[in-house]
Structure 1
């Protein structure tokens, strides 16, 4: 029924006395537009998933994973790097009010508020419009979240020391270390293992295996430092310094036993 220009009434608003079940129409009534879930639709999903799975497996075979050295729980100088999709949270923990005594704020409170706001976006903006310009609250929160994630990820990649990370994770040949040797205990007492690792394979500092230096050169570095290693770290006696230098000089040398007698 038409009443006035542009006005149209369609349908019947009366409530029927006999309630009928709301049964959807059979898909056969719409030929060419719908199909059976089993097996037609599900078979297509399986085929597409199989193609992607085979492609992914082919990539893993063609490009080996960038493995690092065996994990050393005693190496406190090792700085792990999370996967790329967690880099924005990793970068967030570097800021003053999200790290140290405020780690809980950076690790739980701030990400919780951000993801909670995204979850509440549909309830805060309940407008019927689908255009982004008509839904400023939901769209604004989403754009802010995406921009913050991209910025923090970029900052994490740009400020990370990739050369140091490759050095600390470098795979080196394993050499048996006599942890009961006196020279090793002197290294441990002077906090040398915190940088060079419990197996002396390196960490924040370089590997001490197969240096090819004389005991005198090693003793000089232990006292005066070299590169990023400052001087004055060694606090032992001259006798302990000599034992430490001889122990390090013998590690990984084919003509030396690598242990003290």
Structure 2
């Protein structure tokens, strides 16, 4: 090109004399390399999405979510566990420096600093290098975040009591129907220490088993309540000896009012009526003899 040919001098700048519109070429000019977005590309994307959606629906039908018992707010031994992507945050709340009176540190301050550092990484390291070893600040923050998340997640999984958690919320398959009108059930509802371990429905919780799963006699139940058994401490019952015996009999009878209880008064009344009838008959015979 000769100097100045096809150019117009504007001051010290050179601007092309012929301006062409900046319009991209049509896809048809690249056969075999491009295609129309509608309907070719979009239809293929929809087909792939439909296949994955059908596969997901099949998995939900084949492996439904586990059905558990109705939530019991009286079970104090419930072991919470968030979804896997929150386990590292959940683990922070187990450490002394981020728990109790310092919960704000574990719930707000530490996560805020960590995520804030990742958000500010592009401004903290403005290097144009793309290789990781040439960007120590950004690479260091990324490695620190990944290692911390992996470590805290592993610690949370390792420290979780999976066996005890598996027993939480299980459906009652024993078929026991508790008589909630029985005196033993009313006494049980006043025992917070018992409810905290065995649940308000007496079907067990995270810290105690189902109270009707073993075939104990009344005397054996009293002995367990008074002296304890295994991990269960003794001396937790807060009531009189009569209430203890009533509760033990209720448990030994699988949650039903023991037979004979509450009927003694009726038998006494029937006995008293029989004695009165006998006395009346004797008086009538005496009068007849006279």
User: In the alignment, what sits opposite 1:161?
Assistant: 161
**Could you tell me how far apart the structure 1 residues matched to 2:28 and 2:147 are?**
46
Could you report, residue by residue, the CA deviation over 1:180-217 in whole angstroms, capped at 9, with x for unpaired residues?
54322322322111111111111121111343211111
Unpaired segments ≥5 residues, structure 2 = 2-12, 263-290
Deviation at 1:139, TM superposition (A): 2.1
Out of 169, 188, 210, the position equivalent to 1:207 is 210
Check the 8 A contact 1:251/1:258 in 2, yes or no: no
TM-score (norm 1): 0.82
TM-score (norm 2): 0.74
Is the partner of 2:167 in helix, strand or coil?
A: helix
Is the partner of 1:189 in helix, strand or coil?
A: coil
Kindly tell me: are residues 32 and 131 of structure 1, through their superposed partners in 2, closer, same or farther at Cα, counting changes over 3 Å?
farther
Out of 194, 197, 214, the position equivalent to 2:196 is 194
**Could you tell me how far apart the structure 2 residues matched to 1:80 and 1:180 are?**
33
**Could you tell me how far apart the structure 1 residues matched to 2:28 and 2:161 are?**
62
Deviates more, 1:166-175 or 1:79-88: 166-175
Out of 241, 245, 253, the position equivalent to 1:242 is 245
Check the 8 A contact 1:210/1:249 in 2, yes or no: no
Kindly tell me: are residues 14 and 199 of structure 1, through their superposed partners in 2, closer, same or farther at Cα, counting changes over 3 Å?
farther
Is the partner of 2:57 in helix, strand or coil?
A: helix
**Could you tell me how far apart the structure 2 residues matched to 1:258 and 1:99 are?**
48
Larger radius of gyration: 2
Where do 1:1-261 residues align within 5 Å?
Answer: 14=14, 23-173=23-173, 175-191=176-192, 192-203=194-205, 204-251=207-254, 256=256
Check the 8 A contact 1:72/1:198 in 2, yes or no: yes
**Could you tell me how far apart the structure 1 residues matched to 2:94 and 2:180 are?**
35
Deviation at 1:238, TM superposition (A): 0.8
**Could you tell me how far apart the structure 2 residues matched to 1:93 and 1:258 are?**
48
Deviation at 1:136, TM superposition (A): 2.2
CA RMSD of aligned residues (A): 2.9
**Could you tell me how far apart the structure 2 residues matched to 1:258 and 1:47 are?**
66
Unpaired segments ≥5 residues, structure 1 = 2-12
**Could you tell me how far apart the structure 1 residues matched to 2:201 and 2:100 are?**
29
